[in-house]
Amino acid sequence: MATSDAMHQQTRSLSSPRSIPAHAPRARAEFAAVPTNFYRDMVRGMRNGTVAITREGRVAVFNEEAYRILGLSPQPDDIGRHFGEVLGPRSEIVRLFANAFDVAHLPSRAEMRLKDSGRVIGYTLSIVRGERGSANGAALFFKDLTRVEQLEERERLRDRLAALGEMAAAIAHEVKNPLAGIEVMAGLLKRRVPDDPDTQSLLHDIIQEAKMANAIVIEVLEFVRPIRLQVDHVSLAEVIDDSIRMAESLVPRGTVRVDRLLPTDLPRLEADGHQLRQLFTNLATNAFEALNGYGRLSIRAWESADEDRPGDSPSIVVELKDDGPGIPEEVRDRVFSPFFTTKPRGSGLGLAIVRKIVDAHEGRIDLSVEPTGGTTFRLVLPTRPTDHEEATGA
């Protein structure tokens, strides 16, 4: 993924006054006659983040979009300060500027992930040169590609699920029928030896294992099946209440305390209520299993404008936070992957299905773990997805 051609052209035009030919005195005169505030207003209104520094390392330009993308708060004295002071929390950008005047080829249409925020930016770094070619400074133009990357990841997931769906459909008939046969024959044999406790116990285990294997096959088929949203006006509070009850029927809740912090004025979602119930049931079930009968699960929600979807309908943010043992750092990047599980008898599809449902609703889900333990899932669900008929999967 690369930054746009328009951004590249902006970079060349802003970084090189020589774009106005020396043999065009009239053009030079008109260029000089443009008020200074025109360029300031132009940079301020750019849809790309723009940061420029002087040769001495002082910040000369820092527009509002740059502050937003980098997650920094503007300060009155930022212009004129050293870029290392202004960009301190964004060490990746600091390194770019620190090396700008020492490398022969500057990055153009490159990408970078900001560690603290997880945002992905596409950027071009160029030297600002004077009329005689001397390096007077450096300019960085960048754009937030996080949403684009998420859409690309969804496409890659669809491709993987399509291949998996073909394989699952092929093996379903081959696996399900033998499993059913094993279960039936074990049941018949069990009735023939009613007086042999050891054999009865063994046959009971065989039947249970066959049922579990059959359930896994069914779950795989459900996972690779496309999601076609049946959109309706859904109350988030009702969905969460139903999901908690469903989770309690699957996993013993024990003395776990569930705190619901859901404002009564939350807008209804245009969503598939059945799919959302499955989503929150899976998350609540995981929390109850992690808490093992003790602790607290907090569920809160609020309305928020989605900065990655400017001009679109607002979103609802939902956080599910437990105070359990948390998730080990070495496996956090894999928890949403199909068939990955840390449970002895898990299928590894619970959180993968959650991710699939969130993607189908054009939302986002993030995972965070506190240093002292506890897991937080944060979902962002648009109140009105742009494409209700979109299918996710094979």
Q: What is the CATH number of the domain that holds 69?
A: 3.30.450.20
Q: Is 251 found in the same domain as 220?
A: no
Please state the φ and ψ torsions of residue 54, each to the nearest 5 degrees: -80, 170
The CATH number of whichever domain residue 347 belongs to comes to 3.30.565.10
Q: Which of these three, 225, 242, 266, is where a domain ends?
A: 225
Total structural domains within the chain: 3
How far is Cα 60 from Cα 50, in angstroms, rounded to an integer? Answer: 10
Q: Is 261 found in the same domain as 379?
A: yes
pLDDT score, position 248: 94
Please state the φ and ψ torsions of residue 195, each to the nearest 5 degrees: -100, 10
Strand runs labelled E in 63-169:
110-113, 120-129, 135-144
CB contact set of 14 (below 8 Å; sequence gap of 6+): 126, 128, 139
* pLDDT by residue, tens only, the chain of 394 residues: 444 444 444 444 444 444 445 555 555 555 566 676 777 778 777 888 999 999 999 999 999 999 988 989 899 899 999 999 999 888 889 999 998 888 878 888 888 888 877 788 889 999 998 888 888 899 999 988 877 776 777 677 667 766 766 777 677 667 877 888 888 888 888 888 888 888 888 988 898 888 888 877 777 777 777 778 899 999 999 999 999 999 999 898 999 999 999 999 999 999 999 999 999 999 999 999 989 899 999 999 999 876 555 456 689 999 999 998 888 878 887 888 777 777 766 667 788 889 889 988 988 898 888 877 889 999 999 988 665 444 444 3
- Sign of the Cα torsion 381, 383, 386, 391 reads positive
Q: Is 218 found in the same domain as 241?
A: no
How far is Cα 337 from Cα 261, in angstroms, rounded to an integer? Answer: 30
Cα separations in angstroms, 89 against 105, 259, 356:
26, 35, 33
Rounded-to-10 torsion of CA 95, 98, 101, 104: -20
CB contact set of 238 (below 8 Å; sequence gap of 6+): none
How far is Cα 140 from Cα 96, in angstroms, rounded to an integer? Answer: 9
Place of tokens 């046959």: 203
Q: Is 65 found in the same domain as 51?
A: yes
How far is Cα 284 from Cα 116, in angstroms, rounded to an integer? Answer: 28
Q: Is 280 found in the same domain as 167?
A: no
pTM of the entire predicted model: 0.56
Q: Is 331 found in the same domain as 245?
A: yes
Q: Which of these three, 195, 225, 255, is where a domain ends?
A: 225
Q: Is 168 found in the same domain as 245?
A: no
Q: Which of these three, 103, 120, 144, is where a domain ends?
A: 144
Alpha-helical regions (H) of 110-196: 146-192
Rg of the chain over Cα atoms, rounded to whole angstroms, equals: 28
Q: Is 236 found in the same domain as 215?
A: no
Helices 146-192 and 197-224, packing angle to 10 deg: 150
Q: Is 352 found in the same domain as 292?
A: yes
Amino acid at 289: E
How far is Cα 99 from Cα 246, in angstroms, rounded to an integer? Answer: 56
The CATH number of whichever domain residue 162 belongs to comes to 1.10.287
Q: Is 210 found in the same domain as 88?
A: no
Q: Is 151 found in the same domain as 140?
A: no
How far is Cα 83 from Cα 252, in angstroms, rounded to an integer? Answer: 55
Cβ–Cβ under 8 Å, residues 176 and 214: yes
Domain coverage including residue 206: 146-225
First to last CA, the chain: 25
Q: Is 186 found in the same domain as 118?
A: no
